[in-house]
Amino acid sequence: MKIKDCIFPLRSEQLNKIVTIFITLILMVLPLCLTAQKKHYRVVDTTTIKRMENSKTKFDIEYFDKNKNIWTWDFHDLEFIKEDGTKIEQVKSIDNYFYEEDKDTTLGYKERENKIMRPLGIYDDSYYSEDEIPPLPKLYTIYREFYLNSNLKKEGILLGGMHVGIWREYDEQENLTKETNWDETYGKFDYNKVILFLAKQGHINIKTGKGRDEFTIGVDREKHCWDVNVWPVKSNNYKGFEYLLDSDTGKVKKKGKIFPSED
């Protein structure tokens, strides 16, 4: 008896039947696996959440001052990309100038529109801010504010302009003063399911991140629904779409096109 006869004692017809059954089972199970994956889909990865729990990130003032751009009298900004593709957008809000006509001295003055701007010093509400935008396919942004001593003031995650997850606030000595879990304020149909809804409608792609900058999410608490706006880069005769989704069931309460204003 040949070795192959011992290993494959079945006839070709029987083998074909087994292969057919096996392929059928795969085709039946695969959609269930994909559905399970979507059911447990999370916009924000657990690695990011753990990294933010006790981050105490500091603002690099020296690097900012050395590389900043002055694009208005009230704001200085800086943008750069890290080695892993993460984009950082930083701003210093100074809000410390006022217009005046007195031209007796030019010390510390700057001319603009034939007026003189005099620096008044730093106000208490001046601060640094930072947007950390991870590379695609991530859809969220990490927002931070810092005190003028470089210590972290506030940190949280934005998704389509909306607060999600846990936001933390600190005093100037980096002591935690407030913690807000925004996820507890939303309904059963959470923002993860909103993203899956947008993906199903073809507005975004959760695998590639396409469309990340083309939607905003808000909450209409009176109507108990999500207010979602989509602003495609390419649109025909209208700017985008608006959806009102029940925040518990996900039922579409309203769907319409957003037309440009006539102004």
pLDDT, one tens digit per residue, over 11-58 is 666 666 666 665 665 555 555 444 444 567 999 999 999 999 877 799
pLDDT tens, position by position, 175-212:
999 999 999 999 999 999 999 999 999 999 999 999 99
Q: Specify the pTM.
A: 0.74
Token pair of 150, please? 């470089």
The secondary element (H helix, E strand) that includes residue 200 is helix 191-200
Instruction: Return d(Cα 215, Cα 232) in angstroms, integer.
Output: 8
pLDDT at residue 226 in the model: 97
As a whole number of angstroms, the distance between CA 204 and CA 84 comes to 23
Burial of 180 (0-12, 13-18, 19+ CB in 10 A): middle
